[in-house]
């Protein structure tokens, strides 16, 4: 074997290897690039973790089913760890280097707002999975979001209190971003419902005992109900302490704990607790003619089978973000950013996990407060009340 044929042989082997490593080449088309920055680790991992899992799972599923417009989806994702500056870096990288067609993220209001100016400047559609109203109000042409705003959660709870004839409440909230935003929104709208906040307490996100705060609320004259705005383990501890102190006023939680984990953590103490949540928690209790029923059931089953952990409301935000993007790309018939944006803005009657979306140029969220279902814990399970 002379030197030349040896070289040729090596070249052939290298080519074969390269082909083998590249795997089966997808349809000759370029992939559609979906860029995501989520808080998969860090203090907001309870949001980002299910979101990323959902995105990964559905990008796989959509590709197995033939992709979008005959092209596969490619998910490029980064973990910002809940930090706004990291989110800004990653959004920048997604927009400039990875040149994504649609941007999904961030998980929190802080990370979202850090990336908003970049998406606006790059003229790329961005779908956020964070709660605060400021993301879509005032409306920014390129920015959309899937969750209901915190204010809607507060309104849903307050209107139920109003219906029960409650006029004086105690508020207890976490000092993290979610709790603070929820507290502010609640204080802003509370008067519209003829309700007065007579006690206003807070707790740190890592606190392990809230009996002092709850004792103070209980000892405040005339309190008729207690509303806890927070997420993570805090509300579960509040619920346990509440039962432990034997306070028999109605206790309301926010959508921040709308997951089956809350039932596990709070145990029997959760009996009678009411909260606003997406239909995801009670797929089987929904009436058969509810358009969300099949979507929600399908998502819950697929998620729990794939990841072997209970589904949470927050993963649903990612489901909606991805499917809204896919739907808009299909409607637009191309990945031209302006066309996708137009299509997103004109989405009507799109049934998602969080609710039914009706986008308009003035409303880049497209959900009604009614998309929150009011649930009560009965016999250790979620029950739908109307």
Partner 1 sequence: MFAEFLQYLFAGVTTGAIYALVALGFTLVYNASHVINFAQGEFIMIGGMATLAFMAMGLPMPLAIAMAILLAAVLGALLHRLAIATARQADVVTLIIITIGAAIFLRGIAQVIWGKEYHALPSFSERASIEVMGAVMYTQSLWVLGIATVLVLVLALFFKRTLLGKAILATCMNKQAARLMGVRIQFVVMLAFTLAAILGAVAGAVAAPITLTSYDIGIMLGLKGFVAAAIGGLGSGVGAVVGGLLLGIAEAMTAGYISSDYKDAVAFLLILVILLFMPRGLFGSRVAERV
The interface region with partner 1, picked from 63-71, 190-198, 210-218, 357-365 by CB under 8 A, is: 210-218
The interface region with partner 1, picked from 25-33, 137-145, 199-207, 222-230 by CB under 8 A, is: 199-207
- Nearest 5°: phi and psi at 244? -60, -40
| Residue numbers 262-301 binding partner 1 by CB under 8 A | 264-265, 267
Selected binder of partner 1 within 34, 35, 39, 46 (CB under 8 A): 46
User: Cis peptide leading into 162, omega within 30 of 0?
Assistant: no
Q: Is 204 in the site for partner 1 (CB under 8 A)?
A: yes
Give, in degrees to the nearest 5, the angle at Cα 182 between 113 and 164.
150
Quote the least distance from Cβ 22 to partner 1, whole Å: 29
Beta bridge partners of 197: 169
Beta bridge partners of 103: 35, 126
Q: Is 246 in the site for partner 1 (CB under 8 A)?
A: yes
Give the Cα separation of 31 and 271 in Å (integer): 49
Q: Is 49 in the site for partner 1 (CB under 8 A)?
A: yes
Q: Is 134 in the site for partner 1 (CB under 8 A)?
A: no
H-state helical runs in 164-233: 177-189, 211-218
- Nearest 5°: phi and psi at 375? -115, 155
Give the Cα separation of 315 and 174 in Å (integer): 22
Selected binder of partner 1 within 63, 175, 335, 358 (CB under 8 A): 175
Q: Is 202 in the site for partner 1 (CB under 8 A)?
A: yes
Find all residues with CB under 8 Å of 82, minimum gap 6, and list them. 39, 41, 42, 43, 44, 45, 48, 107, 108, 110, 111
Selected binder of partner 1 within 178, 203, 319, 357 (CB under 8 A): 203
Give which of 354, 42, 315, 40 is closest to 177, Cα–Cα: 42
Give the Cα separation of 316 and 277 in Å (integer): 11
Quote the least distance from Cβ 250 to partner 1, whole Å: 20
Selected binder of partner 1 within 32, 38, 45, 143 (CB under 8 A): 45
Give the Cα separation of 375 and 382 in Å (integer): 6
Give which of 88, 138, 90, 99 is closest to 122, Cα–Cα: 99
| Residue numbers 306-335 binding partner 1 by CB under 8 A | 309
The interface region with partner 1, picked from 67-75, 181-189, 220-228, 240-248 by CB under 8 A, is: 240-248
Beta bridge partners of 174: 203
CB-nearer residue toward partner 1: 211 or 358: 211
Selected binder of partner 1 within 85, 196, 206, 346 (CB under 8 A): 206
Give the Cα separation of 230 and 170 in Å (integer): 14
Quote the least distance from Cβ 170 to partner 1, whole Å: 12
Q: Is 220 in the site for partner 1 (CB under 8 A)?
A: no
Q: Is 216 in the site for partner 1 (CB under 8 A)?
A: yes
DSSP string, 19-74: HHHH-SPP-SSPPEEEEEEE--SSTTHHHHHHHHHHHHHHHHHHHHTT-BTTB-EE
Q: Is 148 in the site for partner 1 (CB under 8 A)?
A: no
Give the Cα separation of 41 and 46 in Å (integer): 8
Number of residues that bind partner 1 (CB under 8 A): 31
Quote the least distance from Cβ 348 to partner 1, whole Å: 37
Q: Is 215 in the site for partner 1 (CB under 8 A)?
A: yes
The interface region with partner 1, picked from 11-19, 185-193, 200-208, 328-336 by CB under 8 A, is: 200-208
Cα Rg, the chain, nearest whole Å? 23
Q: Is 39 in the site for partner 1 (CB under 8 A)?
A: no
Residues that bind partner 1 (CB under 8 A): 41, 45-46, 49, 175, 201-204, 206-209, 211-213, 215-216, 219, 232-233, 236-237, 244-246, 261, 264-265, 267, 309
């Amino acid at each position: 074997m002379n030197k030349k044929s040896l070289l040729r042989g090596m070249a052939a082997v290298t080519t074969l290897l390269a082909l083998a490593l590249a795997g089966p080449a997808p349809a000759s088309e370029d992939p559609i690039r979906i860029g995501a920055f989520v808080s998969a680790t860090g203090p907001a991992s309870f949001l980002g973790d299910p979101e990323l899992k959902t995105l990964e799972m559905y990008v796989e599923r959509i590709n197995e089913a033939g992709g979008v417009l005959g092209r596969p989806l490619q998910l490029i994702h980064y973990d910002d760890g809940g930090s706004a500056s990291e989110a800004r870096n990653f959004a920048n990288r997604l927009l400039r280097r990875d040149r994504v067609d649609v941007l999904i993220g961030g998980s929190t209001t802080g990370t979202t707002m850090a990336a908003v100016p970049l998406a606006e400047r790059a003229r790329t559609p961005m779908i956020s999975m964070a709660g605060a109203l400021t993301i879509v109000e005032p409306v920014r042409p390129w920015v959309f979001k899937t969750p209901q705003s915190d204010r809607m959660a507060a309104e849903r709870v307050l209107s139920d209190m109003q219906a029960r004839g409650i006029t004086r409440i105690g508020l207890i909230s976490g000092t993290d971003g979610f709790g603070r935003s929820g507290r502010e929104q609640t204080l802003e709208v509370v008067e519209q419902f003829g309700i007065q906040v007579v006690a206003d307490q807070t707790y740190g996100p890592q606190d392990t005992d809230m009996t002092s705060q709850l004792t103070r609320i209980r000892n405040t004259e005339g309190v008729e109900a207690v509303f806890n705005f927070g997420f993570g383990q805090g509300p579960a501890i509040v619920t346990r302490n509440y039962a432990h102190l034997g306070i028999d006023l109605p206790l309301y939680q926010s959508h921040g704990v709308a997951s089956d984990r809350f039932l596990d953590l709070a145990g029997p103490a959760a009996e009678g607790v009411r909260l606003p949540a997406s239909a995801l928690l009670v797929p089987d209790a929904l009436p058969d003619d509810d358009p969300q029923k099949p979507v929600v059931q399908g998502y819950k089953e697929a998620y729990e089978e794939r990841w072997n952990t209970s589904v949470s409301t927050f993963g649903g935000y990612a489901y909606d973000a991805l499917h809204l993007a896919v739907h808009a790309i299909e409607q637009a018939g191309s990945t031209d950013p302006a066309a996708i944006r137009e299509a997103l803005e004109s989405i009507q009657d799109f049934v998602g996990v969080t609710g039914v979306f009706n986008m308009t140029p003035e409303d880049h969220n497209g959900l009604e407060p009614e998309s929150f279902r009011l649930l009560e814990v009965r016999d250790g399970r979620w029950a739908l009340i109307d």
